[in-house]
């Protein structure tokens, strides 16, 4: 595999699409689906995720988190496959592509709707680029202080779902916040699996993630809490908007989350935990499709 493709971390990209798909499905259920808006939102989000992955590779190599003590896939800068200077250029290119895609999205979705809306969403986009880069890179990476979970919850949940929905419908009913929060919880759970896997190397590198703060046992309890809250938000949404049994279709994904929760609790070695990262991301995507199709059919 090309070192650049590996640095893009393809297994994280389905998770990036989940919130966009959810916003698209909800708009479709409301009769206001716009395929071009969803496609541009998906492209922008994937580019932001790749930017975050490149910045994470670069930042962790510079700050010592990617060391011989770390378990999991080898990173490009750590291994020497990509130099730090090359990685920084890659980050710039990806950031500019994300900005261009985001501007195209806003033009297609908002047109001449008003300068205020355009500037507001532009500010959100710039904040997303900042968050993608400064998670583990920059002078004071916030991921090293344990704030990564908040960022993931907001951008992979609330902003992703609500933003995609609003750009199609020009409205934002309060119940939409519930599936947005559900996606945020599941995305945060993916990060939590990653941080549980890396807990020992993060301690050595001074990267104070939530699992480092909580300890291994409480981090696993936190993981269960995230999954239960996510499913709870989806359940409350369906209860509030119920008009068809199809809306419960997402329940078919519950065994996937249960498997992940049980395995995260039982597996202790970092290399045993690593496969659960991909499984959790794919489970979130399966949930997204089932939930979305259920709302459309309902």
CA dist., res. 149 & res. 146, Å (int): 7
Mean pLDDT on 239-257: 97
- Of residues 58, 61, 75, 60, the one with CA closest to residue 6: 75
Is the confidence at residue 70, as pLDDT, over 50? no
* Confidence category of residue 75, pLDDT binned at 50, 70, 90: low
Would you state the structure tokens that stand for residue 82, as one six-digit string?
Answer: 């990509």
Domain borders along the chain are: 3-297
Class of domain 3-297: mainly alpha
Cα–Cα distance measured from residue 76 to residue 98, given in angstroms and rounded to the nearest whole number: 22
What does the DSSP 8-state code read for residue 74?
A: P
Separation in Å, CA 180 to CA 30, 110, 159: 16, 21, 8
pLDDT of residue 38: 97
Lowest-pLDDT range of 64-68, 100-104, 189-193: 64-68
> Alpha-carbon distance 166 to 161, whole Å?
9
Q: Bigger pLDDT: 49 or 113? A: 49
Q: What average pLDDT score do residues 20-36 get?
A: 97
Structure tokens at 217: 């046992």
Per residue in 120-149, pLDDT (tens digit) is: 999 999 999 899 888 887 778 898 888 999
pLDDT score, position 73? 62
Share of the chain above pLDDT 90, in %: 68
Backbone torsion region of residue 72, taken as left when φ is above 0, otherwise alpha when ψ lies between -120 and 50, otherwise beta: left
Share of the chain above pLDDT 70, in %: 94
Asked if the model's pLDDT at residue 28 lies above 50, the reply is: yes
Confirm if 256 and 287 have CB atoms less than 8 A apart: yes
Does residue 260 carry a pLDDT above 50?
Answer: yes
Q: Which residue has the higher pLDDT, 290 or 69?
A: 290
The answer to whether residue 1 scores a pLDDT higher than 60 is: no
């Amino acid at each position: 595999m090309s070192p650049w493709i590996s640095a893009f971390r393809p297994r994280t990209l389905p998770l990036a699409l989940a919130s966009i798909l959810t916003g698209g499905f909800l708009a479709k259920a409301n009769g206001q689906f716009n395929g071009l808006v969803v496609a541009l939102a998906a492209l922008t989000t994937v580019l932001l995720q790749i930017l975050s992955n490149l910045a994470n590779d670069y930042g962790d190599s510079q700050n010592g988190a990617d060391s011989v003590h770390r378990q999991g896939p080898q990173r490009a800068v750590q291994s020497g496959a990509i130099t730090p200077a090359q990685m920084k250029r890659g980050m710039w290119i990806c950031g500019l592509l994300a900005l261009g895609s985001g501007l195209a999205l806003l033009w297609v979705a908002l047109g001449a709707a008003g300068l205020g809306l355009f500037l507001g969403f532009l500010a959100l986009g710039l904040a997303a680029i900042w968050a993608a880069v400064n998670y583990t890179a920059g002078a004071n990476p916030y991921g090293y202080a344990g704030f990564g979970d908040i960022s993931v919850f907001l951008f992979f949940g609330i902003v992703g779902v609500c933003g995609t929905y609003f750009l199609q419908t020009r409205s934002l009913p309060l119940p939409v916040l519930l599936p947005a929060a559900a996606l945020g919880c599941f995305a945060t759970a993916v990060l939590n699996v990653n941080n549980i896997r890396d807990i020992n190397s993060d301690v050595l590198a001074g990267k104070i993630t939530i699992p480092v703060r909580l300890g291994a046992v409480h981090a696993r309890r936190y993981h269960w809490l995230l999954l239960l809250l996510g499913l709870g938000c989806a359940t409350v949404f369906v209860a509030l908007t119920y008009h068809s049994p199809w809306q419960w279709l997402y329940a078919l994904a519950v065994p996937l989350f249960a498997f992940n929760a049980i395995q995260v609790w039982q597996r202790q070695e970092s290399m045993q935990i690593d496969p659960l990262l991909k499984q959790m991301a794919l489970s979130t995507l399966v949930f997204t499709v089932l939930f979305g199709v259920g709302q459309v059919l309902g």
